[in-house]
């Protein structure tokens, strides 16, 4: 079932133009980035540090915000988010779709 749905998703674009396939590859790569650890780290750190920069800027508050971010988000909430949203499974699916789309792109004529 898993492989069938991925093949169906990728085969939608099999007969599309090279530009459309390249665009879809970029979109899937962006989705993969949005499900990744780097994105969660940037978003969570910015939501903690941005108010500290706006309202009370001091070295102690910035340090406290970074420590709070590490202990609360990166050790506890990240694991919960991965379990609830199944991000690792989604990333594997997206990687498979990207791989299939790149194969379709190779098989296309360059005209």
Identify the domain containing residue 74 by its residue range.
2-106
How far is it, in rounded angstroms, from Cα 90 to Cα 35?
A: 8
Q: Quick: pLDDT tens for 77-99.
A: 888 878 887 788 888 999 999 99
Q: Is residue 83 part of a domain?
A: yes
Burial of 3 (0-12, 13-18, 19+ CB in 10 A): exposed
**Contact of 61 with 52, CB cutoff 8 Å:** yes
Does the pLDDT of residue 110 top 50, yes or no? yes
In a domain, 111, yes or no: no
- pTM recorded for the entire structure: 0.79
Mean pLDDT of the chain: 85
Q: In this structure, is residue 97 part of a structural domain?
A: yes
Q: What local confidence, expressed as pLDDT, does residue 1 receive?
A: 46
Beta strands in 1-111 (DSSP E): none
Give the chain's domain count.
1
Torsion sign across C-alpha atoms 79, 81, 85, 88: negative
Supply angle C-alpha 78, 81, 82, rounded to 5.
85
């Amino acid at each position: 079932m898993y492989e069938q749905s991925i093949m169906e998703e990728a085969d939608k674009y099999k007969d599309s133009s090279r530009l459309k396939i390249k665009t879809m590859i970029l979109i899937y790569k962006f989705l993969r980035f949005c499900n990744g650890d780097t994105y969660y780290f940037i978003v969570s750190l910015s939501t903690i540090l941005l108010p500290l920069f706006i309202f009370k800027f001091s070295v102690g508050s910035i340090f406290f915000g970074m420590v709070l971010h590490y202990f609360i988000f990166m050790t506890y909430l990240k694991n919960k988010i991965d379990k609830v949203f199944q991000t690792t499974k989604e990333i594997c699916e997206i990687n498979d779709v990207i791989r299939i789309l790149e194969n379709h792109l190779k098989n296309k004529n360059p005209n």
